[in-house]
């Protein structure tokens, strides 16, 4: 028998609160998220921004964004039991590998494609020119978007590795 609409809504509500609780109770996720927000707000609030002072600030922002997004995607997938479904589907007994796949897909799809696409669509509205994602000839300024996505994926990988170490320590 199928779910009634009321049962379905209750199930979704429970999963949603489980996800929110998991996010809010993770001190590392909250602290890294606040650090990311502080860096971004300082960059926007200062008249000249932080980029003239710290030229590689963009790398730090994308790394932290990848870290936070990876944790959010992992906790959301875990609360919905997506990791267990994918584990059965791919025949993987190690949930850590499935978690890495979920994290990297989340960072690459949300943090990479969606963010870079929104940069292309929204920046011109405010008079800014978006950095190219990839264009020839290959120079550091012509592949800025590619570097941003790669650094975000590295942040996601570090988040996965730290979660793996924490899980091994708790065993």
Residue 83 makes CB contacts below 8 A (sequence gap 6+) with: 77, 95, 98, 99, 102
Burial 81-102 (b: 16+ CB within 10 A, else e): ebbeebbeeeeeeeeeebbbbb
Condensed to tens digits (0 to 9), the pLDDT of residues 55-70 reads: 678 888 889 999 999 9
The candidate with the shortest Cα–Cα distance to 134, out of 110, 116, 114, is 116
Q: Are 148 and 116 in contact (CB under 8 A)?
A: yes
> What is residue 2's predicted lDDT score, i.e. its pLDDT?
60
pTM comes to 0.78
> What is residue 161's predicted lDDT score, i.e. its pLDDT?
94
> What is residue 63's predicted lDDT score, i.e. its pLDDT?
92
Rounded to 5 degrees, φ, ψ at 78 are -65, -40
Respond yes or no on whether the N-terminal peptide bond of residue 124 is cis (omega within 30° of 0): no
Residue ranges in the chain whose pLDDT is less than 50: none
Residue 57 makes CB contacts below 8 A (sequence gap 6+) with: 39, 43, 50, 51
Count other C-beta atoms under 10 Å from residue 74's C-beta: 23
How many angstroms separate the CA atoms of 30 and 64, rounded? 12
């Amino acid at each position: 028998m199928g779910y009634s609409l009321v049962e379905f809504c209750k199930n979704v509500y429970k999963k949603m609160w489980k996800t929110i609780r998991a996010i809010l109770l993770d001190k590392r996720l909250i602290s890294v998220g606040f650090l990311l927000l502080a860096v971004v707000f300082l960059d926007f609030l200062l008249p000249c921004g932080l980029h003239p002072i710290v030229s590689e600030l963009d790398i730090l922002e994308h790394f932290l964004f990848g870290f936070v997004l990876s944790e959010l995607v992992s906790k959301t997938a875990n609360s919905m039991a997506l990791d267990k479904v994918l584990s059965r589907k791919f025949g993987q007994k190690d949930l850590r590998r499935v978690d890495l796949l979920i994290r990297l897909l989340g960072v690459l799809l949300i943090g990479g494609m969606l963010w870079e696409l929104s940069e292309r669509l929204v920046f011109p509205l405010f008079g800014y020119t978006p950095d190219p994602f990839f264009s020839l000839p290959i120079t550091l300024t012509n592949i800025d978007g590619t570097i941003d996505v790669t650094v975000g994926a590295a942040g996601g990988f570090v988040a996965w590795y730290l979660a793996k170490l924490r899980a091994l320590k708790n065993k």
